[in-house]
């Protein structure tokens, strides 16, 4: 018996958000794009209500989008942040986005990172994390965000990663609520599945 190979496919609709010349100079414009990714993921039923994207901090151009594909890929680690990191690192051809000292990258996420994604951020090479909805917004609809340090923001900042929170929080939390109202799967290990 052989072990399976590991591949995942991004939703077809996400190809409309490939790297391009459009700049997103305002933090709110970058967040609105990410919230739209999370909303479209719900509308197209291609995964959970979470979006992420990595931007070049100098040009504010999109490097890589990411959406949550846990359920369709049958893989618990394919959160939007992880998908965005994996895609971005392939785009730059290196295991860290910090490989080129002339370019800094920002990750924009529709919801604050869960425990797993928080753990991946320091090794990703990003220099700034911008968050929309808060942990409690995701937990309110049933997601388990896992154990994360109470001082998680200070922890990242001590590693040279600045953190901005609550950007367009109401709009980001509204997508979570849409997912909840559409009976989207809440994929926690504490739940039983058929």
Residues tagged active-site: 81
Tokens of 169: 């929080």
**Which residue(s) pair with 54 in the sheet?**
64, 107
Q: Smallest Cα–Cα separation from 47: which of 6, 89, 19, 75?
A: 75
CA of 2: how far to CAs of 5, 179, 188, in Å? Answer: 9, 37, 29
Instruction: Decide: residue 152, CB within 10 A, 0-12 exposed, 13-18 middle, 19+ buried.
Output: middle
For the record, the structure tokens of 38 come out as: 């999370």
Strand pairing category for 105-111 and 128-133:
parallel
Distance CA 39, CA 188 (A): 20
């Amino acid at each position: 018996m052989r072990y399976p190979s590991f591949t995942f496919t991004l939703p077809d609709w996400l190809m409309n958000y490939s790297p391009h010349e459009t700049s997103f100079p305002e933090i709110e414009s970058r967040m609105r794009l990410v919230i739209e990714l999370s909303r479209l993921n719900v509308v197209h039923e291609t995964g959970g209500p979470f979006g992420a994207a990595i931007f070049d901090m100098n040009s504010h151009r999109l490097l890589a989008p990411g959406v949550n594909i846990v359920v369709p890929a049958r893989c618990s680690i394919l959160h939007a942040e992880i998908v965005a990191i994996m895609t971005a690192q392939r785009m730059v051809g290196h295991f860290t986005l910090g490989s080129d000292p002339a370019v800094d990258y920002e990750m924009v996420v529709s919801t604050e990172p869960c425990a797993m994604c928080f753990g991946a951020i320091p090794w990703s090479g990003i220099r700034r994390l911008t968050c929309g909805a808060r942990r409690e917004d995701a937990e309110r609809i049933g997601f388990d965000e896992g154990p994360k340090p109470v001082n998680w923001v200070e922890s990242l900042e001590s590693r040279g990663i600045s953190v901005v929170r609550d950007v367009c929080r109401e709009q980001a939390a509204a997508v979570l609520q849409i997912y909840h109202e559409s009976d989207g799967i809440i994929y926690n290990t504490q739940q039983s599945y058929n």
